[in-house]
Structure formats: structure tokens, C-alpha cells
Amino acid sequence: MNHLSDFFKTITERSDYLYELLVQHIFLSFGAIFIITFIGLAAGILILYKSKLRRIVLGIVNFLYTIPSIAMFGLFIPLVGIGYLNALLVLVIYGLLPVIRNTFTGLNEVDPQLLDAAKGMGATPLQIFIRIRWPLAFPTILAGFRTMVVMTIALAGLASFIGAGGLGQAIYRGINTNNSSLIIAGSLSVAFLALFADLLIGLYEKSVKARYIRVTKKNGWYKYAAIIVFIVLISLFTIFHSSDNSNRTIVVASKPTSEQYILGEIIAKYIVANTDLEVERKFGIGGGTSNIHPAMLTGEIDIYPEYSGTAWLFVLKNQQIKNADSLFFALKNAYSDQFNLIWICRLGFNNTFTLALPEVLAKKKNITTFSDLAAKSNQFDFGAEFDFFEREDGFPGLEKVYPFHFKNNVELDINLKFQALENHTVNVINAFSTDSRIRQLKLSVLKDDKMFFPAYHAGIVIRNQTLQKYPELKNLLMKLEGLISDSTMQQMNYEVEIGKKTPEKVALNFLEIHHLI
């Protein structure tokens, strides 16, 4: 009963947020559907008359269809960056197959005797296509269109992974903040949108099948074109909507963690309250630094919260500097010289990596340090997020210092590690020192006795071009210097992850307490 009440509470309190995501989802989906329909119909007709191209075109779209969608989003990041265009391209690629195949199949399977009869009566090829092939093939083409529409709407849920918005953002944020009500709300919204579209097309399909032979009626083409006209209107509205953004808009991004959502909201709300700038939020970007940093360089993102250790070791790939102040000084110079990015301030807390396991197990095995764990690591299953196994400041570097030989290394989404501990899928995880669930699950945090992990002081990174365009941001953001302690950050994380407060409310409360708005 509590879950049901939480769900309705989420729907009520966050209706504006969910409506905004729904609009984004519709714009993205219908923009893709329009492009897919145009290209798919054209390609299907082309390969009907150009048999040499048939195998090539169908082979390419079939091959692309087999590539996992999440991989396709990642593959386009170096080419077009993150955001709307990336998502649009992926959706178009995945939607082409059913439209092209059904268009060709429908047109190709028209009874040859009807075509011969039309030729015998003196009909031109264009007349044969318009009056014979197309009307008879239309039910098959419409069936492919229907499949494509439902698939595109569903697949658009993954667009939030690369910062393109849509209802998937609610799902992804729910996972990242341990909010099941938000996950359900986002999932049901995607499902209902897809089912509603399927229902409308299904009703139209039945109508067409009932009278598709009556193609000579004067208004027949208006009926057949209704869906396409609707898609054109939606797509044009999408274009006008996307181009109607204020020139004084900056993009604030975050990684997919509760802490980053909170920090992103603090930055966004602080800027909006104290300037005349508009803020576009691109929160919860999958891959974190791996995708956000390149987007900063291309200008797709203006500002985001980052950690000094991540920037120094993962982005710059430099050797560790033990002293936190020396590290930050060197980091500011390197980012300015190499990337034209500015570390404008440190927020005050150090969210360094650590290793954790249940207190009961740690006491039973007498493990208090990383070295203790390394000596007995063959008795444990270790879990960490995907990029931790790739980063030099993660597992590759860690095992060079400590001789870890775990029974299994399990790669998990960053926000599923604690569930994996509870489910006994793993019994050791990497964690962050400000994570609220360490206290909730009664975990023992081990001592990094060889001091492998550097300082991970949170700070704000901004593009120099953005500062030059909006110089008022410099003094404004510098007022956040040192305001968030380790305990304050852990408490804010706790309020979101355990107390089920929204990052927006927690961020607003922080800003009000410090009289920043």
C-alpha cells in the first residue's frame, strides 16, 4: 500500500517534470518517425525497381539492426556528440528495417496479372504505381509503419543515457536515486504512449484493410496521407520548438548519481535565481566523465561538477599527486592550458574511492585495510561500476598496488552495487566516502593503507568561452567555495536516497540555508 501511495505522490508532486519529459519524448520519437518514414518509403520503392541495390540495402539495414542499441548511442558520441542529434540518428537507424522491408514486400507481391492487365489497357508506369501497386501494398506498408512507431517510442527511452531527455530520464534517475516510484512512473508513461500510438494506427489499419480496393475514390489519398501529414506537423513543431531557445541559455550537466543530481541542481538553481540566464539541464549522462568531458570541449555542455582525482588521473592520465592543494593547483593550470576549461572552485568535500564490505563479514575475517583484503581476496566476489574496471585510478591501478585476486569481478551499474551486496551477488564493492548507504547497510569502510586513491575534491568546471560570454558567473560561482563538507554531502545524499526527497528539494534547501537565493 505504501508503494502505491508513493507512486501517486510522485505523479502528483512531479507532474510538471514528467510532463516536460513526455513532451521531449514525443518530439524525439515523432521527429525520428517522420525521417524514418520518408527514407524507408523511398528506399523500399528504390530497391523494387533497382534489383542490384536490393541485397546491399537490405544487408546494411539488417546488419545495423543487430548492433545493440546502447552500443550505437556510444559509437555516435565521437561523431556527433551527445544529445538530441545522437539519439535521433540511432532511432532512425533502428526504425528503417521494418519500413523498408514491408514497403518492398508489399509493392513486390502485387498480383502480376493485375499489372499486366493495366499495361494492356495503356496505363503508364506512374499510373500503375499510383493506382495499382500502392493501394494494394498499403496495408502491408502500414503494418511495418505500425511496428516501427511502437519500437521507436520504446527505444527513445534510452535517449536519456546520452543526455537527450525523454521519459527514460525518469527511469534512469529513479534507478540512480533508488526511487522505485519514479522508475514506475517513467516506465508506465513510455508504455502507455507506445500503446496509444499502436491503438490509433491499429484502428486506422483496420479501416484501410476494409476498403483498400476502393482506390479510385476522390478522397482516398487524403485518408492514406493522414498519418504522414500528422507526423510532418509534429516534426515541424519539434524543429520550431527546439530553435526557440533563449540565446542566454547555458547547459548544466551531471553524472548519473544522486550526489551529482544534487550538485547539478544546486548549480542550476543558483544561476537561475541570481542571473537572467536560462539553464538547460542534462543530468544523469551515462558514462559520466567519459561522455561529459568531450561534450564540454565541443560546447554541448557549459558547466558540470567534477572530482579532482578523476580529472587528474582519468582525463589527464597523470601520475598521482598526494597533496590535495598541489593537485588542485596543477589541475587548474592543465585544464586551462590543454582544454580551455576553468576549475572555478572547490565545493569543500572529498568524495574519495574506498572499498567496503558488511561489518559482520569484516569482523569475522579480521579485515580492516586494503592489504588485509588483498591477502584473502580469493574468498570474495568484487563488484564495481563498468568504468571502474577501465580507469587507471580504478581497478587496473589498484591491483598494481594491492595483489587482489578475487573469485569474481562483477561489473554493475553504479547504483546497483548496494543491491548486489544485499542480494549476496557480491560481498565487496567499491564505494564513495560520502555515500549514504554505507551507514544504512552497516558497511565497514576499509583503510587505504598504501594511499592508492588520491583526493577526489568536488569542484565546478566551466568552459572559458562561457565565462567570457557571461562574466557574472565567475564571482557568483566562487561563492560556493568550501560550502559543502563531507558530512553535509553525505546527509544530502541520505535525504535523496533513503529519505526519498527529490534532488530539487534538497538543493533548494541547501541554497536557502546558506542564503544563496
Residue with cell 537572467: 276
Q: Give the pLDDT score at 228.
A: 58
Amino acid letter, residue 286: G
Same fold, 2-243 and 353-445: no
**CA geometry: angle at 57 spanning 54 and 61, to 5°?**
135
Amino acid letter, residue 234: I
Q: Is the dihedral of CA 345, 347, 348, 349 positive or negative?
A: negative
Q: How far apart are CA 292 and CA 310, in angstroms?
A: 12
Q: Return per-residue pLDDT of the chain as tens, 517 residues.
A: 566 777 777 788 778 888 888 888 998 999 999 999 999 999 999 998 888 888 899 899 889 888 888 788 878 877 887 778 888 999 999 999 999 999 999 998 888 888 778 787 878 888 888 888 888 888 889 889 999 999 999 999 888 877 788 888 888 777 766 677 888 888 889 999 999 998 888 888 777 666 654 544 444 455 555 555 555 655 555 555 544 445 789 999 999 888 999 999 999 999 999 999 999 999 988 778 888 999 999 999 999 999 998 999 889 988 888 788 899 999 999 999 999 999 999 999 998 888 999 999 999 999 999 999 999 999 999 998 877 887 777 888 899 999 999 998 888 777 678 888 888 889 999 988 888 888 888 898 898 999 888 888 999 999 999 999 999 999 999 999 999 998 899 899 999 988 888 999 999 999 999 999 8
- Cβ atoms of 35 and 92 closer than 8 Å: yes
Each residue's pLDDT tens digit, 282-306: 998 877 888 899 999 999 999 999 9
Percent of the chain scoring above 90 in pLDDT: 42
Fold of the CATH domain 249-340+458-513: D-Maltodextrin-Binding Protein; domain 2 (3.40.190)
- Cβ atoms of 151 and 99 closer than 8 Å: no
CATH code of the domain occupying 2-243: 1.10.3720.10
Q: Give the pLDDT score at 323.
A: 84
In the chain, domain spans: 2-243, 249-340+458-513, 353-445
| Sequence-separated contacts (24+) of 361-370 with Cβ below 8 Å | 361/427, 361/444, 362/444, 362/446, 363/444, 367/444, 367/446, 368/444, 368/446, 368/447, 369/446, 369/447, 369/448, 369/449, 370/402, 370/446, 370/447, 370/448, 370/449, 370/450, 370/452
Name the strand (E) or helix (H) holding 201: helix 180-211
- Right CATH for 353-445 from 3.40.50.720, 3.40.930.10, 3.40.50.1820, 3.40.190.120: 3.40.190.120
Q: Give the pLDDT score at 420.
A: 86
